[in-house]
Amino acid sequence: MLCGIAGWVNFPGGCAAAAATQKLGLVDSPVTVRMPGGALRIDLEEEGHVFLTGPVEYVFEGEIASFP
C-alpha cells in the first residue's frame, strides 16, 4: 500500500501516518511512504515497534554555539 506524505524528509510524519492507517485497518505492514526525498519502507510490529528503511544523503553541515 502506498501513502503520500508532504515534506522532504518527514520521518516522524511518515511513521505516524503508516501507524494510524494500519490501526484503522486500511493497510498491512510493511507500508511504503513516498515523499519528495524518496520512498520509505515502514515495518510496523504488533508490539508497537516501528522500523524505517530508506535512502539517506548528506544534506548540510553546521556547528552549535557553546553556552557559557
Report if residue 39 sits inside a domain. yes
The answer to the question of residue 43 being in a domain is: yes
Q: Does residue 20 lie in a domain region?
A: yes
Q: Is residue 65 part of a domain?
A: no
Looking only at the bridges linking them, the beta strands covering 38-44 and 2-4 are unpaired
pLDDT tens digits, residue range 17-53? 888 888 899 988 898 888 777 788 889 888 878 888 8
64 found inside a domain: no
CATH number at residue 45: 3.10.310.10
Handedness of CA 30, 33, 34, 39 (dihedral sign): negative
Structural domain including 23 reads: 2-53
Total domains in the chain come to 1
pLDDT at 64: 81
**Between residues 60 and 3, the one the model is more confident about:** 60
Which neighbouring-strand residues pair with 33?
A: 3, 40
